[in-house]
Amino acid sequence: MVPGPRTYRVRVSRSAEPAAPLGLAAGLDAAVELLGGLRLAVLTGAGISTDSGIPDYRGPDSPPRTPMTYGQFVSDAAFRRTYWARNHIGWRHVDRTRPNAGHRALAQLEERAVVVGVITQNVDRLHHLAGSRSVIDLHGTYADIVCLGCGARSSREALAMRLEALNPGFAERAAVADVEIAPDADAVIASTEGFVVADCERCGGMLKPEIVYFGENVPRERVDRAFALVDSAQGLLVAGTSLAVMSGLRFVRHAARAGSPVVVVNRGDTRGDGLADLRIHAGTSEALPSLAERLPDP
């Protein structure tokens, strides 16, 4: 049978049923055995940033949440006002977060040339802050703003000053207790009525965070760079993601198809479990530093 465009051949050794996940100690032994001496690409998600204080809305203990779509953002002015009002509060919390031991372990592994680069689904820039240099922000970053009219880019920090001038005292009036930190720098506040949205200073166009929202595609050039990163490595380490969205899962499929070992470190099951050679059910802040300690230089 000729495989269709959506099918692919997996290694004979891979079974349809994923192998049972291992705990931290046994998992680390197996990971060192499997990945030792190899150059690794890493794919990370929200789970790696939870210990930095950014909640993972897809984690096993997370409340259900309806994500904002690109269509809502561009078509509904009231929705957009609420979005920006919340973002005006929420982005500061993300901006104040700092990398944790998991981010730092990956930066050290890159320094030692064990890790060739990180593809992250997070928009928090914590890998950059931890010192990783080869990072692909697959879903963009909260820290940059783009104009949907003319394409002009600016920093979130500069926009914060403009929003503050347009809405004096708004951030102070929104009680801290009402604010809930969200991965996309969104925040929940009681009321956003009267909030004034800032438009592009150059063309008056609509401004949007440089974040890939549901209903949007990751730019092709970025996807290609991520595939190239996976191709330049000899194994793939997946850390802190349930691989719920295809934008991340496709790189696991790509590595598996190429016959590269795939190791998944996550607190719960993932959509990529059937493609993994090894699954470790553990937190990334514990697992990654231990792994960095034990993996030999290639």
Residues forming the active site: 139
Q: Which region, judged by CB under 5 A, interacts with Zn ion, from 81-89, 93-101, 152-160, 165-173?
A: 152-160
| Three-class DSSP labels, the chain | CCCCCCCCCCCCCCCCCCCCCECHHHHHHHHHHHHCCCCEEEEECHHHCHHHCCCCCCCCCCCCCCCCEHHHHHHCHHHHHHHHHHHHHHHHHHHHCCCCHHHHHHHHHHHCCCEEEEEECCCCCHHHHHCCCCEEECCEEEEEEEECCCCCEEEHHHHHHHHHHHCCCHHHHCCHHHCCCCCCCCCCCCCCCCCCCCCCCCCCCCEEEEECCECCCCCHHHHHHHHHHHHCCCEEEEECCCCCCHHHHHHHHHHHHCCCCEEEEECCCCCCHHHCCEEEECCHHHHHHHHHHHCCCC
Output 201 or 286, the one with its CB closest to Zn ion: 201
Query: Contacts with Zn ion in 201-220 (CB under 5 A)?
Result: 202-203, 205
The pattern of x and - marking residues 173 through 202 that bind Zn ion according to CB under 5 A reads ---------------------------x-x
Q: Give 22 or 152: the residue with its C-beta nearer to Zn ion.
A: 152
Which 80-139 positions form the footprint of Zn ion (CB under 5 A)? none
**To the nearest whole angstrom, how small is the minimum distance from the Cβ of residue 198 to Zn ion?**
11
Name which of residues 50 to 69 contact Zn ion (CB under 5 A): none
246 and 271 Cβ atoms separated by less than 8 Å: no
Contacting residue, 94, 147, 263, 282, with Zn ion by CB under 5 A: 147
Distance in Å, CB of 80 to Zn ion, minimum = 15
Q: Does 291 bind Zn ion (CB under 5 A)?
A: no
Residue in the block written with tokens 């990072």: 135
Count of residues that bind Zn ion according to CB under 5 A: 8
The region of 150-158, 190-198, 251-259, 270-278 touching Zn ion under the rule CB under 5 A is 150-158
Out of 22, 34, 74, 152, which residue is the one contacting Zn ion (CB under 5 A)?
152
Which listed range, 146-154, 156-164, 168-176, 215-223, lies at the site for Zn ion (CB under 5 A)? 146-154
Looking at 36, 55, 67, 149, which residue binds Zn ion (CB under 5 A)? 149
**Positions that interact with Zn ion (CB under 5 A):** 147, 149-150, 152, 200, 202-203, 205
